[in-house]
Structure 1
Amino acid sequence: MFARAFRVRASTAIKGSDRRKLRTDVAAAFPNLSAEQLTEFIPNKEELNVIKIYCHKGEAVTVYVNNRNPILFEIEKALYPTVYALWVYPDLLPAFSTWPPVLRKLAGGADLMLPGVVVPPSGFPQVERGTLCAVTLLGNRAPVAVAVATMSTAEMLAAGMKGKGFAVLHTYMDHLWEYGDKSCPPTLAPSVADSADKERAEDGEEPAISFSTDTLQHVDTGDLSLKEQDGCATLMGKEELDEDKAAETADEASTEVQQEAEDSRTPQEQMDALFNQCFFHALKCKVKKSDLPLLTSTFLRSHMFSCCPAGKQLDIKKSSYKKFSKFLQCMQHQKILQVKELNKGVESIVEVDWKHPDIKAFDVPEGFSSASAAQDGKSEDREQVYHAPEIIPLYGVSAKMIPLFQESGHRKGSAFSSSEVRNIIVNYVKANELVDETNKNFVKVNAILCDCLLDKSEQDEISKLKWDDLLSRCLERMQPLHQVTFFGQEPVVRKGNIEPIDITVAQRSSNKKVTIIKNLELYGLDPQCIANILQQKVQASATITPVPGTKDRVQVQIQGNQIHHLAKMLLEEYHLPRKYIQGLEKAPKLGRKK
């Protein structure tokens, strides 16, 4: 599931009430956790974040992160532990062992086949089909994968250890593991049975079940790594891995020190540091002498925002400065630049001291030049990346309409377009000779049409229907559906009519207005991406908040009435049909030109 990169939709700190509910859900999902272990697993005071992500196949997954490491992920209200959690609680799930070389297949997205499972002398744990299990490597009890059993223990043995045994959800070295601190599995002593089996293998005896006909060499967990080469996972030996580790030791040590220092700072101090970093980065790499004088708003929007690291967002309200003008005043006091009001109410940067020690001492983050260039071109290429989905209204056969459609071989739930429904009705009328002989614009109502299309008060009065009336009544009594086809993906059929993108303007304290946008996800739009774009375009604070009354839906909230900017973006840049956007009429009226 996480073999390929996923897309983060939203990230928020979990509330106290949600924390208590999560602890209750974890206790129900993993009853063998003691009360003390449960409190350690879901701590009371430590920061716990909830992250909404989209996997590469479109699955919506909720991830819970503690101390920078994902500890749980939730799919369709079912909780699953990550390898980081299982390294702390290795006996949380029933475990099955496999040979170390199999790990590279699992990390590449493969499921665990039964020939790759090592049968211990003591036998397998007794599990049923659908049981959540851990996968370990021979010689180490630390789990390296989380999987669901596709058959019971008895069925595995009855099948002669052939076929697919486990559907793998998450592994060590996949992208969910990479989202954490990328630590390696600990070395945990195996059980007595596993140790005996390992000794038999080392003595040259044939194990209970072989992985393949090739000779397998024992590889320790710490000796195993994956590198991406031409889209394929390649197994590395211990020597290559040691060379890589030696080359990266200094970088990792400095990174860890920096991350620890960042964690000890308050959110306001972190935002101040981020503004300083983006400020010096923009002056050193983005602004040229020929660009001066430069509007301060343009400097922030076009230069500093593009220097912001991935996953972070500049928000002056969350800093100690509160206003960008005060931040620039502070920089001016340090004699780094000079700001003047060239036009009334409009400030510009007129001079920069590029020889200032702070600018000269600033080191551009490694690899940021390409990232900045990619981010600069992101807005220009956005319309090429995003393709508006194709939305087709469909009609499903309801229980009341079954008699009318079963003659043509269709069942309840079958979905049709309006033209297909028309053809089925026309064929039914002709096959049963229901066209009125005196006036072919009318259709005679037989017993089936009477039961399906007429109300009780009409059944004794109406004996004929016009063609148009017949078809409209048929569509009204069918179940509304819609088919959505995103670019490069298979069509998806959903119940009901598609909800439009809903834009509303709400009044807040001090007579301030905010624009709220809902249902962006239904059209393949990332709410976080839309919020970032709007924030840069209109220079107003934008946030992502949960939709009241829902669990997994979010909305974008931006200061002011920004419907004009939204309309231009959705209609002209993203080419969404106007009929799928609700609330454009609430745009502020433009003043009359004199």
Structure 2
Amino acid sequence: MFAKAFRVKSNTAIKGSDRRKLRADVTAAFPTLGTDRVSELIPGKEELNVLKLYAHKGDAVTVYTIGGNPILFELEKNLYPTVYTLWSYPDLLPAFTTWPLVLEKLVGGADLMLPGVVVPPTGLPQVQQGDLCAITLVGNRAPVAIGVAAMSTTQMLASGLKGKGFSVLHTYQDHLWKSGDKSSPPAIAPLAVNPTDSNEEKVDLGLRGHLSSLTLEGEEDRKVHHPEASEDTSSGALSQDSQDGKPLQEQMDELLHQCFLHALKSRVKKADLPLLASTLLGSHMFSCCPEGQQLDIKKSSYKKLSKFLQHMQQEQIVQVKELSKGVESIVAVDWRHPRKGSTLEGSEVRRIVIDYAKRNSLVDADNRNLVKLDPILCDCILEKNEQHSVMRLPWDCLLTRCLQNMQPAYQVTFPGQEPILKKGKLSPIDITLAQKAYNKKVTVVRNLEVYGLDPCSVATTLQQRCQASTIVSPAPGAKDSVQVQIQGNQIHHLGQLLLEEYRLPGKYIQGLEKAPKPGKK
């Protein structure tokens, strides 16, 4: 809002009655401040001025100043603190953290996008869409901007931290800040985290890793077993200890969503609508349940089908109408609704394909190692030039092709929040050596932030440990990503830090083999 110069219409001293009204408005807008701190912010005797101005886009803004420094501004009857005020009261607003390089874009008038938000060890603050929030930089709690949340924390996590996170209203170094004494943000140390929790969670990251089963890149995933020989291990009812130790209720919620979406996609047609809810469950959802699992709505968090359908209606996937008490009908389905979050691991894909082949009698009667391809499987896995020539495929070839045609993704879990799902392959921490002038070498490390590591903190640690200069700069060719550069070949020290202190698995780090050999200068 203040990225460009504004025009001042008037500048007058505030009256006593208006000063009291302003205190009341501040107390109502920021109840956590308390009466004493409101009196500190708006003292009774210091000169308090009110400016009427027009921002460069024409917005009429009221600004309150003390001693020449803007402390508050009002837009459309809403009060907002300036960075000068937030430096005195850094915990006034929920704060989200970004990288120093992003601040330049915010000062230029850009909004804060979610890929630029740093997830702290304690997780993101819980906010709702429209809440006023502060924006800080890594390593310092002093806010450098304020903005309005474009979505709730839950929606941010559900989006995989993509899209616009905050509409930025005011920043350090913008023209509103320049109208004051132009002081810099104070250094306010980050809040301490429980050392035990920090070490455990920063090391492990709750990293479920690659979901590499979607791309057959893990060693275990390369072993595609014959389904007939491994049925006992791939089936079985949901239990408390299955599926990575998830609670039974969470497992049943996932199964319920899976069966519901599968039924809508593959079984329910437009001609079937309106469709009784009981018919949807009995004739379609139960039959979409993976082999060896049993759908039991009473064991889910919804308890009743009607409650689950109401939730799906809120998600705008279906429209539900109550025909009579206790009798509901699906009257409309949004067939184009994006089914986000419905990811599948390799074992689930394998189970679905095997179940489909058996239900449709596609297993070759003469050779049970082969699967006959029906039109659906042909469309899914065959090239155009194979449509009329390939009639059967071995099980391992069929399953491999299915997985290869799926979009790869990976999931990272940070402490205190829902897992973050991102498309593409998980990039390892990349360590390289670069040659500089006068035959000097530097060590460059990228992708630290993907694993929840703060590049600035890593650079500081390495600087002290190696007694060498470090630089944090934008990573070439990578949007919203930074790299750490350390003078000399410091791969040995970097490897010790990542493997021994942060305890990252070696398979997520590439370039460690370039460390100097023992005894070599």
TM-score class normalised by the smaller sequence: 0.3 to 0.5
Normalised by the length of structure 2, the TM-score is 0.44
Q: TM-score, normalised by structure 1?
A: 0.39
The higher radius of gyration belongs to 1
